Structure 1
Amino acid sequence: MADYSESSIYARIEVNRLIDFKNHIFTKYNESEMKSMMESIEDMGVTDPILVRPHNEYKGMFEIISGHNRVEACKRLGKRDIHAVIYEGLKDDSAAELMLIETNIKKRSLNDYVISEKAKILTRRHQLMKILNKRKAQLSEQIHNNLTQGLKDLCDSGKLSIKSAVELSYLSDAEQDVVRSFMLDGNKISYHKANIIRKKMESAEITIDVLNEIFKDKVSKKKPEKTYKISPEIIEKYFHDLEDEGDIQMTVELALDQYFFQSS
């Protein structure tokens, strides 16, 4: 199964924003199985996050890849949201369907299905693997014909993913050389960034300055330091003999050190 980990994020998603996978071929839980799952969720919560991707047609909605029964159980229990892994880069329908099949096979043994359903699952899995293998060959050809040797070497060494290499293969040789130099300086290019670079080339030549602009870190707002005040009652009770603020702080630190030392 393809690795989409570089473009996945963890989040809690409202259950009313989740839509069933359009090509879902698995039989959902019967009422007895659903009741058992609901009891488990009531006791322990949802222990495994569901897998989803942004919906191709409905903005702000997500398509369920794995977790249809967990979502249904949460809806029946009145749960507002559920923990999920969002595969933002999983846009290919065949790849998404294969992920659905693979994850369901791992969670539920093929022996759990009747023969006709098992045959349907394995047949569809074989069809999808053929489709994806053909596309993989096409991507390899795209890389072979259009990627400079410098970026091929980075790809072979594992410093550049296949998906990223395909995006960068659309750049001119000179632009690819710029990207290679940028990477040799210690910069990693994810598929998401490679996709941005490819789109950027349509309106501007890819130079070091352009790459620096794409990769510049967002200036994060410095969080204010947390400060806590000691109430007058506590000061009167424990620090009535101390007037210097530094002495009070040192006493608090020593007391905390002793407390956590004894607790460890």
Structure 2
Amino acid sequence: MKNTKKNISIEKLHPFENHPYKVQDNEEMDALAESIKMHGVVSPIIVRPLENTADEYEIISGHRRVMASRKAGITEVPALVVSLDRDAAAIVLVDSNLHREHILPSEKAFAYKMKAEALAHKGYRTDLTSVQVAPKLATEQIAEDAGTSKDTIKRYIRLTNLIPEILQYVDDGRIAFTPAVELSYLNEQEQYDLLEQMELNDCTPSLSQACRFKKMSGEEGLTPEVIATVMSEEKANQREMFKVPMERIRKYVPNANTKQAEDFVMKACEHYRRYLIRQRDRER
């Protein structure tokens, strides 16, 4: 089958199964919907025919454009229909999104894992010594495509072993990348025990604490009591914190994550500071 361009009803389009990128209904989506309402979908989405179905398609590239089109009241979108198997389509999906300006750590993690698995299915040699290590040559290819090192790719893929709640802390910028990689070696129950302490004390582990947790998990078992003791230690670089409940600013930034809300508050403070300076200058 040759690649073809055609208009396709949105109702016949289906998201790519388990695709790693979050399609959020936020201000950027509203802006895209407004642009599509005025100019239409300028760049065709990329789809492939769904197997064993008639005239139904799986989106490879264009999930955001499809959602924005729905919001804009558009019923059909231009599409490039390609003949790709699941693995080839997964590779295209990952590569077509990595150029985005804002990509969450969790998105990179699951995207790299998806591409590594797709490349492995296509014959790339894997490291059979550990089921938790991504295919060696696959990670080298991904690193080359992404312009980074294969070790960085493997470390991102490790993040997929985190429970969703801790991974959200990483996306929100509350846990740094390197400590998060160390925490990914804890088993599920240990991670939930750690999460309980994080929420109870409103704190996150430092790199040193994360490394200790990893070592204790592998050697002697990591009990809730040990986690509580370690997390109660004062960190050398611990700083005084001023906190504002998200509920108080949610109406101003309804779809923001913690990091975006923090940035909004800081910009608002800066604008208000400049306002006070102007007021003071006028009164002189």
TM-score tier, shorter chain, comes to 0.3 to 0.5
Compute the TM-score of the two structures, normalised by the length of structure 1: 0.44
Find the structure with the greater CA-based Rg. 1
Compute the TM-score of the two structures, normalised by the length of structure 2: 0.41
